[in-house]
Amino acid sequence: MVAAAMWILVVGPEATLQREDSCVDVLQSLGCSVRTADLWDNLDDEILDSDPPTVIMVEALHEVDGARAALMRLRAARNLRDVPVIVAVSVQGLSRIDARDGFDDVVLHPYVPQELYLRIRRVEWQRSDFNAHERIKMGALCIDLAAHEVTVDGSPVKLTQQEFALLRFLCQNRGRVFSRQQLLERVWGVDYYGGSRTVDIHVRRLRMKIGGPMAALETVRGVGYKMRAPS
């Protein structure tokens, strides 16, 4: 069963949402709280601002162009831009889906409840953030502190010892600004005699190796660096 706190926004043409085999009934049977919105409904909703959905399902079936338009509107809505979006398509529609469309996942209609459940939990996990004793997760980036391993979207990333230490420190202290000198003292140690350029070099390497998730690492002009806190 899906956690009670989870709720799903299902977007699609009204006729599709009212079908007996719509995903609405399947999601409710899985324990989800569900709200629906027509493909062209206004998404500037105060409720969505204060309590955004866990996942958005775009029930397109064979109307793939409409699904793409819906995704553009969802990503443009400030309160929904970071919510993962799954598109549901028929076999006919699947042939028209492109990996570059930007959906977080695709599911085939008619639905297999267990598959739908797993796909929802998968995209929820990929977009989630948490900071635990042995593991830090920041979207697609996962840092296993116990195993001293870093993965992005499940793929391993090889880091040097100091790159790993710097990444761990910044992620464990999200939302705080640190000067280069503070980072040298906290990560390299007070006995380290290298210059502040060392920090810049390691930040540049982390951005190159990790890619997208490092967009959260901000350069604070005249001060140092800050890993953005979760919104």
Average pLDDT, the chain: 84
Question: Other CB atoms closer than 10 Å to residue 219's CB: what's the count?
Answer: 11
pLDDT value at residue 96: 87
pLDDT value at residue 2: 47
The three state secondary structure string of 134-145 is CEEEECCEEEEC
* Same domain, yes or no: 49 and 109: yes
- Pairing mode of beta strands 177-179, 224-227: antiparallel
Mean pLDDT of 105-123: 89
Question: Other CB atoms closer than 10 Å to residue 28's CB: what's the count?
Answer: 12
**Radius of gyration of the chain from its Cα atoms, rounded to whole angstroms:** 21
Judged against a pLDDT cut of 90, whether residue 99 lies above it is answered with no
* Same domain, yes or no: 68 and 173: no
* Same domain, yes or no: 17 and 83: yes
pLDDT value at residue 204: 95
pLDDT value at residue 196: 78
**CATH at 87:** 3.40.50.2300
Domain stop point among 127, 149, 174: 127
* Same domain, yes or no: 93 and 39: yes
Note whether residue 41 is domain-resident.
Answer: yes
* Same domain, yes or no: 82 and 175: no
Span 122-161, pLDDT tens digits: 887 766 665 555 778 888 888 988 888 999 888 899 999 9
* Same domain, yes or no: 173 and 71: no
* Same domain, yes or no: 172 and 212: yes
* Same domain, yes or no: 90 and 15: yes
**Structural domain range at position 200:** 159-227
Span 12-35, pLDDT tens digits: 888 888 888 889 988 888 888 898
40: CB partners within 8 A, 6+ apart:
none
Judged against a pLDDT cut of 90, whether residue 101 lies above it is answered with no
pLDDT value at residue 107: 93
Q: How many domains does the chain have?
A: 2
| Tokens describing residue 110 | 């008619």
In whole angstroms, give the CA distance from residue 65 to residue 165: 45
H helices of the chain, in order, are 14-17, 23-29, 46-50, 64-76, 91-94, 113-127, 161-172, 180-183, 197-210
* Same domain, yes or no: 15 and 121: yes
Q: Which of 58-62, 71-75, 131-135, 173-177 has the lowest mean pLDDT?
A: 131-135
| Tokens describing residue 160 | 């040097």
Note whether residue 182 is domain-resident.
Answer: yes
Note whether residue 137 is domain-resident.
Answer: no
- The position carrying tokens 């309160």 is 79
* Same domain, yes or no: 20 and 122: yes
Span 154-179, pLDDT tens digits: 889 999 999 999 999 999 888 899 99
* Same domain, yes or no: 85 and 17: yes
Mean pLDDT of 57-82: 84
In whole angstroms, give the CA distance from residue 171 to residue 226: 9
Note whether residue 133 is domain-resident.
Answer: no
Judged against a pLDDT cut of 60, whether residue 61 lies above it is answered with yes
pLDDT band at 95 (very low <50, low <70, confident <90, very high): confident
Note whether residue 154 is domain-resident.
Answer: no
For residue 230, whether the previous peptide bond is cis, meaning omega lies within 30 degrees of 0, is: no
Judged against a pLDDT cut of 80, whether residue 89 lies above it is answered with yes
Note whether residue 148 is domain-resident.
Answer: no
In whole angstroms, give the CA distance from residue 183 to residue 168: 12
Note whether residue 145 is domain-resident.
Answer: no
* Same domain, yes or no: 50 and 100: yes
